[in-house]
Chain A
Amino acid sequence: MTIRRAKIEIIYDILKAVQDKGGTIKPTHLLYKSNLSHKKMTLYVNSLISRGLIKINTVENSKVFSITEKGSKYLADYKKIKEFTDSFGL
């Protein structure tokens, strides 16, 4: 049986994928790494951009996503956020 990932876990997976690639990732790689459908990934990526967790850059004429300082802070605080969410049943 598969367990549905919570929103904070999906965000973590996306940001972790970007960080693991040295802070910058191509959309196709992110789609593969995040384990989401294209539609869902677009929704999440747009949400993360609007919240300042990732940003779009152009490298050699192709679009890439880069993790921001706020995004790095999210990754650093993720364990605490997860523990808080789980213990308070949120």
Chain B
Amino acid sequence: MIAYIIRRLIGAVLVMLAVATLVFFMIRLVPGDPIAAMLADSGSPEAREALIRRLGLDQPLLVQFWRWFTGVLQGDFGASLYGSNQPVADILMTALPKTLSLALLSFIIAIAIAVPAGIVSATRKNSAADVGVSLFAFLGLSMPDFWLAILLIIIFAANLQWLPAIGYAPMSEGFWEWLQHLILPAIAIGTGFSAIIARMIRSSMLEVLQADYMRTAASKGLTHRVMLLRHALPNAMIPVITVVGIAFALLISGAVVVENVFSIKGLGRVLIQGIQNRDYPVVQGAVLLVSAFFVLSNLIVDLLYVVIDPRIRYS
């Protein structure tokens, strides 16, 4: 078990190293001259020289990589090429709480929809409710999250005027302020996510309901409710947890897109703006952080799996 955890940890670190290397070298594969693009109008030879030296681009590629890489290890992602050359680490740290808040709320909404929906459709297989949940799942999977975001804005912001259409308010301005700004984007992201989980819970529950211990529970005379919530549900959730890890990709991708609809300056907005501005240090930093987020959540899911399911023993 401990050996397994250590192996998974080393694996995660190796993946991050590989990603850092890929992210660094791929951007340098790009045909064209980023310096020319950056200087745009003030393209005097001196300015060009100065910029190249400041960015360390006169050094051999491997030296550049080593410098960048050791910097990253110390939390130094370089500085933005634009505006006041703000350090990338600062930009990312301002953006991170917004994306995390959004991801967390989306997750809660998704689970709140998916668990009851999955249970109802499994216990009343082929009923109208089951068909309804299945249709909802298909719609959730097929609906682009940014479109759902736009629909929500049209209904709740533009017409009913219940909620703000753009922006973000930190928790320090009050819970309601925070929630008000995040609820629409979180629904937009969480719906597709809930569709996947609801389907998973349904098929997993159907399997568990056939199990011998469920018959035993029934013959002991347990109530339907106790059987479902105490015996079936916990066992049905085990396979679901792995899928939650995989589906976490959707939450992150969703945040990247939906932040741009609601003008929330989270990681997604920073990433897309960085790409539009050809601000390479920002793009590198944002991609690395998103990747780390993802690798870490997968790692946690893998480890949780061992803790939750005592039948699994890794050697």
Report whether chain A binds chain B. no
A residues near B (Cβ < 8 Å) are none
